Structure formats: C-alpha cells, structure tokens
C-alpha cells in the first residue's frame, strides 16, 4: 500500500505540473499556478518524509501535512475549474484523483489519531 500511495502521490504531482504548463498565464493565474505547484508537490514530499520519520509522532505529523497539502491542491484545482480557464479532461481527472488521495490520507490520519497516544 505504501509503495502504491507513494507512486500515486508522485504521479499526481507530475500530472499537475504537466497540466499547469498548458494553462495560459496572467498575473492572477500565475499566483494560482504557483500555489497549486507548491501544494501538489508538497503532499508527496511530506508523505516521502513520513516514510523515514524519526518517531510515531513525526510520522503522524508528516501525514497530517500531506493531507493538508492534498486538500489545498484540490481547492486550487476547483478554483481553476470554476474560472473555466480550460476545457480539459485532465483537470477533472486531477480533481478526482486529489479527492481520492484526500480520502486515503484522511483515513490514515484518522487511524493514527485513534491508535497513537501522543
């Protein structure tokens, strides 16, 4: 499961960057693209860091950051969709994938909260 989730988060990051390369630029959209690039890559990076956590508390903390970042990514994607800046199926796929990743990371985070006494 860990390897599959690591790969999904990695692919989500890469797919998001590839998608954003196709989005036109304006001052407003550059801000959104920058924010989405940061959050979409941070969710996977924090999950990777969690794999080498120094303690259970550190692992839980990194997972919680990963969850926050995928939620943020989903938010920026929904804003871009609402702005109707592109009529691209890739955006819908990214929104769907970020939603699925939120559920997975949310489940992990929830289980950690129940099982780890911090």
Tens digit of each residue's pLDDT (9 = 90 or more) over 33-78: 999 999 999 999 999 999 999 999 999 999 999 999 999 999 999 9
| Residue 1 pLDDT | 55
Please state, in angstroms and rounded to a whole number, the distance separating the CA atoms of residues 28 and 30: 5
Domain boundaries, the chain: 2-17+24-115
Prediction pTM value: 0.91
| CATH class, 2-17+24-115 region | mainly alpha
pLDDT of residue 17: 97
pLDDT, one tens digit per residue, over 108-117 is: 999 988 875 5
């Amino acid at each position: 499961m860990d390897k599959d989730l690591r790969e999904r988060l990695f692919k989500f990051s890469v797919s998001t960057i590839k998608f954003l390369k196709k989005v036109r630029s304006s001052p407003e959209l550059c801000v959104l693209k920058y924010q989405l690039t940061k959050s979409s890559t941070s969710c996977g990076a924090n999950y990777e860091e969690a794999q080498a956590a120094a303690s259970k508390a550190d692992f839980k903390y990194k997972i919680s950051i990963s969850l926050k970042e995928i939620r943020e990514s989903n938010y920026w994607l929904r804003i871009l969709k609402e702005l109707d800046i592109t009529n691209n199926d890739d955006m819908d796929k990214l929104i769907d994938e970020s939603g699925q990743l939120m559920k997975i990371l949310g489940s992990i985070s929830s289980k950690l909260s129940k099982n780890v006494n911090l």
